[in-house]
Amino acid sequence: MTTLIFLSLLGFLVLFIGAFDYKKLILPTVIIGLIVAFFLNAMDWELTATSFYGMIDYNHYAVSFTGLMIVSVLLLMLVASYHFRNEGSHIADIYALMIFTLIGGLLMTSFSNLVMLFIGIEILSIALYILAGSRRLNIASNEASLKYFLMGAFASGFLLFGITLIFGVTNSFNLAEISDFVADTEELPTLFSTGVMLILIGFAFKIGAVPFHFWTPDVYQGAPTFITAFMATVVKTAGIAAFYRLFDSCFSGIDGTWFKILWIICVATILLGNITAVMQNESKRMLAWSSVSHAGYLLIPILALNELSSSAIFYYSAAYSIASITAFAVLIGLSKFQNDLPLDQYKGLAKNNPIMTTALVVSMFSLAGIPPLAGFFGKYFVFLTAMQSGLIYVVVIAIIGSLIGIYYYFKPLIYAFNNEGGSLEKIETNFAFNFVLMAGIVLSLLLGIFPDILRNLPG
């Protein structure tokens, strides 16, 4: 709870610093603030009580996911110091929006009432619509923002409609009461199942699962790279965490109504994401499709819905977030501000930029799921969860998807080690940027070698 209040105040503080134009203070404030927020969040570990008339349940699951999101934002902020080095005057507003996004994410992981879920999702989304369009004079950024806004508003509509129907049946927004209703009612009204379906659609939109993924490539490509990294990590983590939390606590008893649909969504997401990513020649589009496929992997534990699920989702999100942040950081280092980043931009990277190359290798290996990196164990835990619930076909398809994935994750690496057309100059970076790259490498390795550090956190 203190984290929520602290983060709101931090957001306002950043806005004020921006308003009074102390540019040098902004980034240190944000970073120190986020570190404090992380510790405040960790201090709530023992809290585990619902508060505010059952609006929020800040349990271990919420604390772990919030911690993960804060770390992701922290790493991204350090990248931002490099990314925004030449940026204009509204930088404080952008940081403030990102902090507000974090609040949305926090609510999405800790809600125990559907109203809180909706407000959380809206805070997250509205901030993102703007962040996607924050490069105002760039037409691709505008397009991304508008596309994301229209699609996202539509998805919110579905979600809200679903929530309304469920309220209409159960007369409650409270997760505990809804789950009691589900347990006590022998034959659920069709209205309820329809509500569940609509909520499912809303979530699938938000995490970009097939067939509600159409916005992903365009928005990821058009948005500023830094924001794309934000969307691919924090937003996806929050979305999947909320998805699991809702379905685990309310709808686990009635998986007959949604299991088949989610099965199809999950399999289609993995296959389509991976296959389409193979055909991409643009780095951000490739990462976009890869993030679609990862959404598919993240859906498997929700499909399985057993006691291993929450830890699998958490571990996978952590591994995926860290690898993605590293990959995007490399991309930001390579690009200046253009939106079009063809894959051959990596050409000749290896010779003069050892840290960036290592980071690229580690992140790509981790995303592809190659041992002993974190991504491998993420997939392993996900498959383990699926096997426990007997989802053999899903696992087979997911493994095929991963094999396809290895192909396209190696493409940037092949370019990076190819010195034919001359090698790239040494890229000037600052300390914070290098720190993120190093942190990415170390964390990916560390989580891979000692997976139990994080695995059992959400409980």
Partner 1 sequence: MLTIAFYILSALTISSALMVLFSKSPIYSVLWLVICFFSITGHYILLDAHFLAIVNLIVYAGAIMVLFLYVIMLMNLNKESEPQKPVWLKFASVITGCLLMIVLAGALKGYSELPPAAITEDFGTAKGVGKVLFTEFLMPFEVASILFITAMVGAVILAKKHVND
Binding site for partner 1 (CB under 8 A): 4, 8, 11-12, 15, 52-53, 55-56, 88-90, 93-94, 96-97, 100, 103, 107, 113, 115-116, 119-120, 122-123, 126-127, 129-130, 133-134, 136-137, 165, 168-169, 171, 189-191, 193-194, 197
The identity of residue 225, as a single letter, is: T
- Nearest by Cα to 75 from 35, 105, 24, 39: 35
Q: How far is the CB of 65 from partner 1 (least distance, A)?
A: 18
Q: Smaller CB distance to partner 1: residue 133 or 405?
A: 133
Inter-helix orientation angle 190-207/283-304, to 10°: 150
Q: How far is the CB of 256 from partner 1 (least distance, A)?
A: 16
Q: Smaller CB distance to partner 1: residue 10 or 361?
A: 10
Q: Tokens 């037409």 label which residue? A: 139
Q: Smaller CB distance to partner 1: residue 62 or 277?
A: 62
Task: State the Cα–Cα distance between residues 179 and 198, nearest whole angstrom.
Answer: 18
- Nearest by Cα to 247 from 315, 317, 125, 162: 162
Q: Is the peptide bond before 372 cis (omega within 30 degrees of 0)?
A: yes
- Nearest by Cα to 343 from 278, 433, 275, 276: 278
Q: Smaller CB distance to partner 1: residue 55 or 445?
A: 55
**Cβ atoms of 237 and 244 closer than 8 Å:** no
**Cβ atoms of 357 and 349 closer than 8 Å:** yes
Q: How far is the CB of 248 from partner 1 (least distance, A)?
A: 22
Q: How far is the CB of 197 from partner 1 (least distance, A)?
A: 7
Token reading at 129: 């619509």
Q: How far is the CB of 436 from partner 1 (least distance, A)?
A: 25
Q: Smaller CB distance to partner 1: residue 231 or 277?
A: 231
Q: How far is the CB of 364 from partner 1 (least distance, A)?
A: 33
Token reading at 373: 């990196």
Residue 142: helix, strand or coil by DSSP? helix
Q: How far is the CB of 208 from partner 1 (least distance, A)?
A: 19
Q: Smaller CB distance to partner 1: residue 193 or 444?
A: 193
Instruction: Name residue 56's beta-bridge partners.
Output: 51, 111
- Nearest by Cα to 322 from 398, 382, 375: 375
Q: How far is the CB of 94 from partner 1 (least distance, A)?
A: 7
Q: Smaller CB distance to partner 1: residue 5 or 279?
A: 5
Q: Smaller CB distance to partner 1: residue 122 or 344?
A: 122
CA 422 to chain CA mean position, Å: 36
Distances (CA, A) of 12 to 8, 103, 440: 6, 12, 30
Q: How far is the CB of 224 from partner 1 (least distance, A)?
A: 12
Distances (CA, A) of 443 to 262, 331, 400: 32, 19, 27
Q: Smaller CB distance to partner 1: residue 136 or 426?
A: 136
